[in-house]
Amino acid sequence: MDNHFNICVIDDDDIYQFTITKILSSIKMNKKILLFSDGEEALDFMIDNLYSDSELPDVIFLDINMPIMDGFQFMEEYVKLKPKLNKEITIYMVSSSVDPVDIAKAKSISDISDYIIKPIKVKQLKAIMADLQENSN
């Protein structure tokens, strides 16, 4: 079965967005990559597509430190939005922060699958996408 995946990257770093897009593009799977520079943009997109599962992301790679709405603020709003969603979304917090407070805070949020310290490695990203494909069948 050829499943289609929507991959959402929420990060204000243009270089990181470019890099992760290149890596994701090299992975052989049917996908659409959604890029947002802050949590508010991504949240607005999700609200606009609340009842359109085919548009909503399957996986989100979320940065912590961003202008307007940071990763933790996004998660606060996502938790409120989640009961309205008909789709299971996997969220990875991806940050350059090695601050134990940030890591502990991310791990305390049950909707965050894992905390990944940047730069995300190609092997790591491929493993995440392989798991996503495997769990969708």
DSSP codes, 61-84: EE-S--SSS-HHHHHHHHHHHGGG
Cα–Cα distance, 133 to 137 (Å, whole number): 7
For 25-110, where are the E strands, in sequence order?
30-36, 59-62, 90-95
Looking at the chain, the whole-number percentage of residues with pLDDT higher than 90 is 81
Whole-number average pLDDT of the chain = 93
Read off the pLDDT of each residue in 65-89 and give the average, rounded to a whole number.
Answer: 95
Tokens 């996408």, residue located: 129
Task: Evaluate whether residue 69 is within a structural domain.
Answer: yes
Measure the CA dihedral 97/15/129/39, to 10°.
60
The pLDDT tens digits for 51-73 are 999 999 999 999 999 999 999 99
Predicted TM-score (pTM) of this structure: 0.94
Task: Provide the edge-to-edge strand list for the sheet that holds 30-36.
Answer: 30-36, 4-10, 59-62, 90-95, 112-117
How many domains does the structure of the chain reveal?
Answer: 1
Q: Tell me which residue range forms the domain holding 28.
A: 4-119
Q: What CATH number is associated with residue 21?
A: 3.40.50.2300
pLDDT of residue 1: 35
* Section 75-101 average pLDDT: 95
